[in-house]
């Protein structure tokens, strides 16, 4: 038999020291790895936050940034998604404003909700611009009609030619093919026929008293325009250079 004597106290102490060293080394490695992971994720979040802040600053300064790529579903990713929606809405609004600048007043912005005051106000503004443009066009056309009427009537040599020229000018702007011109005579207190365009001269050349017939009613009520519907097909006898008919 071979016997070896080992001091128990020294053996235990050595093993404990080895175990402590292993624990310390693993602890240091764990801390180092944890710090690397923390640094990695902090860089990712810091980069996303910096991109969000940069985009918001550009929007605040009036410029439109590019959309930001989204990774994850955390609160920062949700913030990035909201910023991207804001960028899309700003792009849409800018494009519609450019269309209106180019004269397309029918451009509209999509209303995202009942609380979307910007889109609602923009669309209301576009409606008002259309109304303003129509009124402006009507005013220009009215001025053009007044100028044309003045130019055509000032060269008339008598009341008959005055009526023909006036009817031709008014008919052009109202797209009317026929018309009759009456003059009120003070001594007879009646409306006397003077001239016409597009139709045979009326049989009633005696005239109309104020309030008599449509002509007298329009004159008595001082109406500028009266629109008549359901007129019989044979009511007018139209006359042209090639002949006449109803």
DSSP codes of every residue in 85-150: HHHHHHHHHHHHHHHHHTT-TT--PPP-STT-HHHHHHHHHHHHHHHHHHHHHHHHHHHHHHHHHH
- Integer Cα distance of 176 and 201 in angstroms: 17
- Integer Cα distance of 106 and 100 in angstroms: 8
pLDDT for the residue 233? 65
Please, what is the Cα angle at 208 between 202 and 212, to 5 degrees?
Answer: 115
- Integer Cα distance of 235 and 202 in angstroms: 11
- Whether the pTM exceeds 0.85: the reply is no
DSSP class of residue 208 equals: B
pLDDT for the residue 131? 92
pLDDT for the residue 223? 66
**Residues 6+ positions from 176 with CB-CB distance below 8 Å:** 170
> Could you tell me the CA-to-CA distances from 88 to 49, 64, 82 in Å, in that order?
19, 9, 10
CA atoms within 13 A on the CB side of 53: 6
Helix or strand run (H / E) with residue 179: strand 179-185
pLDDT for the residue 178? 81
pLDDT for the residue 72? 76
Question: Residue 241: helix, strand or coil by DSSP?
Answer: coil
pLDDT for the residue 204? 58
246 residues of the chain, pLDDT tens digit each: 455 555 555 656 777 778 888 888 888 888 888 888 887 877 777 888 888 888 888 888 888 888 888 877 888 888 888 988 989 988 988 898 898 888 888 888 888 888 888 889 989 999 999 999 899 998 999 899 999 999 998 888 888 899 889 989 988 888 888 888 888 888 888 888 888 887 766 665 667 888 887 778 877 777 666 666 666 666 655 555 544 544
Helix or strand run (H / E) with residue 5: none
pLDDT for the residue 228? 62
Question: Residue 245: helix, strand or coil by DSSP?
Answer: strand
Percent helix, strand, coil in the chain (nearest 5)? Answer: 55, 10, 35
pLDDT for the residue 243? 47
What is the SS3 assignment for 72-86? CCCHHHHHHHHHHHH
**CA-based radius of gyration for the chain:** 45
**In contact, 196 and 179? CB cutoff 8 Å:** yes
- Integer Cα distance of 224 and 231 in angstroms: 20
pLDDT for the residue 205? 62
DSSP class of residue 1 equals: -
């Amino acid at each position: 038999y071979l016997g070896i004597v080992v001091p128990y106290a020294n053996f235990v102490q050595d093993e404990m020291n080895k175990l402590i060293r292993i624990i310390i080394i693993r602890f240091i490695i764990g801390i180092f790895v944890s710090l690397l992971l923390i640094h990695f994720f902090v860089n990712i979040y810091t980069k996303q936050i910096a991109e969000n802040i940069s985009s918001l600053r550009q929007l605040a300064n009036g410029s439109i940034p590019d959309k930001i790529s989204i990774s994850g579903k955390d609160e920062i990713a949700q913030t990035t998604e909201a910023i991207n929606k804001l960028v899309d809405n700003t792009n849409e609004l800018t494009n519609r404003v450019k269309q209106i600048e180019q004269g397309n007043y029918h451009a509209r912005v999509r209303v995202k909700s009942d609380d979307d005051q910007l889109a609602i106000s923009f669309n209301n503004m576009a409606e008002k611009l259309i109304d303003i443009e129509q009124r402006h066009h009507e005013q220009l056309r009215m001025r053009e009609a007044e100028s044309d009427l003045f130019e055509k009537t000032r060269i008339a040599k008598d009341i008959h030619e005055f009526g023909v020229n006036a009817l031709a000018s008014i008919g052009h702007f109202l797209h009317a093919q026929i018309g009759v011109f009456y003059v009120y005579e003070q001594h007879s207190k009646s409306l006397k026929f003077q001239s016409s365009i597009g139709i045979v001269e009326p049989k009633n050349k005696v005239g109309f008293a104020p309030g008599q017939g449509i002509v007298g009613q329009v004159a008595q009520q001082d109406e500028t325009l009266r629109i008549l519907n359901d007129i019989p097909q044979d009511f007018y006898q139209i006359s042209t250079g090639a002949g006449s008919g109803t």
